[in-house]
Amino acid sequence: MRAFLRLISPVLGLAVAAAGVLLIADIAWHWAGNGHLVQVPRDLSWTDDRVRTVGLVTAVAGLLLLLVAMTARFRYVRLHDPSDQVVVTTTPTALARVVGHRVRAEEGVSSASVTVSRRKIRVRATSALHDEASLRPRLLDVVRETVESLPIAKAPKVSVVVSSPKDRRSAHPIDHRIPDQSTSGRSAPGRPKSSDDLATTGTEGR
């Protein structure tokens, strides 16, 4: 979206400038005693179909432009400023990488996927050795510790979900909430994002 915004910006800018020139020329022409340059038919009424068509096209174009402007933003996680006039940021991808490395280094974790937004870090780990009850607290501690070791301005919340065949065998109620297939499916980059996932990324587990 950033490239697209960069592409259409000169065109839009020139269009705005052209509208300004047209307005000035029209007023000047009218002031000089001539008619208007831009002629609007006097009998055109609000109920005319042309008004609806032009209105719809304008509204849709405006909405698209608004969406482009809102999605063309940098996704970043703000760190503390080391000194005045210095701004330090990192990307959600990088943060997810750090957390992912730490989680996968834990004993018993066979794979993990991490999703980071500005407000939340979600970790989904699979383990063949441990069940959720034993592994989850340990992973929560590890992730919290990792996040605290970084000078993040506003520490995001941490959530950890463990999926383990052990839980499935004992028919734990938590089991059907996190089926194995959806863990890898949800962390695919193209998955639909919820509105608060301003900055999202997924790192696939190994």
Partner 1 sequence: MIARSYRTERVCAAILGLIALLVGAGAVVLNARREDRPLLDPTALAWARDHLLQVRIGALIVGLFLVVVGLRWAWRAATPERHPDLVLDHHLVVTSSALADAVKSDVEQVDGVTSAQVKVIGEPALRMKLTLRQGADVRAVWRELDGVLGRARDTLGVSVLPTAIRLDLAARARQRVR
| Binding residues for partner 1 restricted to 1-30, rule: CB under 8 A | 2, 5-6, 8-24, 27-28, 30
Closest CA to 136 of 92, 166, 93: 166
CB atoms within 10 A of CB 121: 22
Amino acid at 3: A
Closest CA to 131 of 165, 81, 161: 165
Instruction: List the interface residues with partner 1, window 110-149 (CB under 8 A).
Output: 149
CB of 193 to partner 1, least distance (A): 19
Pairing of strands 202-203, 111-116: antiparallel
CB of 2 to partner 1, least distance (A): 6
3-state secondary structure of 158: strand
- Residue 95 as a binder of partner 1 (CB under 8 A): the answer is yes
Task: Give the count of residues interacting with partner 1 (CB under 8 A).
Answer: 75
- Residue 82 as a binder of partner 1 (CB under 8 A): the answer is yes
- Residue 39 as a binder of partner 1 (CB under 8 A): the answer is no
Task: Name the segment binding partner 1 (CB under 8 A); options: 80-88, 115-123, 136-144, 190-198.
Answer: 80-88
- Residue 32 as a binder of partner 1 (CB under 8 A): the answer is no
Token duo for residue 43: 């009998």
Instruction: List the interface residues with partner 1, window 144-173 (CB under 8 A).
Output: 149-151
Q: What whole-number distance in Å separates Cα of residue 82 and Cα of residue 79?
A: 9
Q: What whole-number distance in Å separates Cα of residue 117 and Cα of residue 91?
A: 10
Task: Name the segment binding partner 1 (CB under 8 A); options: 79-87, 107-115, 134-142, 178-186.
Answer: 79-87
